[in-house]
Chains A and B, each alone.
Chain A
Amino acid sequence: MADDPNASDLELVRRIKQGDDEAFREMVERYHSRVYSLSYGVLHNAEDAEEATQDTFLTLYRKIGTFDETKKFFSWFYRVALNSAYSRARRRRPGITVSLDDYAPRFGGDGTEASPQYQAWVSGVEDDVIARDLARRAEGFIAELPDTYRDAIWMVDVEEMKPADVAEILEISLPALKSRLHRARLFVRQKLAEAASRAPALSERRVAP
């Protein structure tokens, strides 16, 4: 069973239902990093993400009896984690979200993409220092996305989870997930390109002295 993570999760779930605190501890050890990282994707703040992680495991402890063992544990549990994070997010002042259409690619009369001048930053991604700066900015751009798009891009592109698993967690079809993901990527791409065009250092490769 050890080579089947789902079976192991289920074993732990059954033991937790029977009041086995050691099984709960094992579950915390197994999932706390992933829950924290997922929460951070919603909240973009370390303290809030830590508190949301605690809320998630408290809910797990209290609600484990309602988990249907014919379903996949991780889908149920990630939904619990997302709900905890969004519950905390709602208590904060609402952030500003943007219209994706404002940052969709623009096309000229001949159908070609109308802003190729924004492309120079691409080579900068090969440079570690520039790439880290761009990544920091990208995190801010993701935070501006509407929730449904933010969840998709964070789980697939940052957490590198399988799209089919993410679709299951979000309870949407795979084509719907892929559509959200693509639109979110187009938005972040456009924002990165525009940021780089305003800060030329982000699109120049550094030359070693």
Chain B
Amino acid sequence: MSHDEMSCRKLILDYLGDYEDGSMPSAERKDLEAHLSHCPPCVLFLHSYRATGRTLRMLKPREIPKNLAEAVMKFVKARCKDKE
């Protein structure tokens, strides 16, 4: 992939996921970083993509209902007794 081919559209739609998870081959990674070095809109987009990930990680840890394990045990025992 030549530098010219690294348009914003390709970067965002095709390559950003691989770039972020580190699976992009180093030559393409260099092309992408070269594009970022002269494209402020793509840098902004990258920041917002990362901010989305940070936001989603805040959904965990979720509060687990108290005594859920015990409720599960009771439920399973009751259902299995019904069948016996």
A residues neighboring B (CB under 8 Å)? 24-25, 28-29, 32-33, 36-37, 40, 46, 50, 53-54, 57-58, 61-62, 104-105, 107, 111-113, 116, 118-119, 121-122, 125, 131-132, 134-135, 138-139, 142, 153, 157-160, 163, 178-179, 181-182, 185-186, 188-189, 192-193
Contact = CB atoms under 8 A, between A and B. Distances in A.
B34 interface: no
Interface residues of B, number: 39
Given A58-B76, A157-B53, A111 B7 contact: yes
Interface of B: 7-9, 12-13, 16-18, 21, 39, 41-42, 44-45, 47-49, 51-60, 62, 64-65, 68-69, 71-73, 75-76, 79-80
A135 B82 CA distance: 42
A122 B48 contact: yes
Contacts of A185: 17, 49, 52-53
A158 B60 contact: yes
A37 B13 CA distance: 30
A113 B72 contact: no
29 contacts: A28-B69, A32-B64, A36-B62, A50-B65, A50-B68, A57-B76, A61-B80, A112-B41, A113-B8, A116-B41, A116-B44, A122-B44, A125-B51, A125-B55, A131-B54, A131-B55, A135-B55, A139-B59, A153-B56, A157-B56, A157-B57, A163-B21, A178-B17, A182-B17, A186-B12, A188-B52, A189-B48, A189-B51, A189-B52
Contacts of B75: 54, 57-58
B60 A160 contact: yes
A132 B9 contact: no
Given A113-B44, A121-B51, 7 more contacts: A37-B60, A50-B65, A58-B75, A105-B45, A122-B44, A138-B55, A178-B21
A122 B47 contact: yes
A116 B12 CA distance: 13
Contacts of A112: 8, 39, 41-42
Q: Chain A: interface secondary structure?
A: helix
B72 A28 contact: yes
A29 B69 contact: yes
Contacts of B69: 28-29, 32
Contact of B57 (A119, A121, A158): A158
Contacts of A105: 12-13, 45
A178 B73 CA distance: 36
Given A36-B65, A125-B51, A113 B76 contact: no
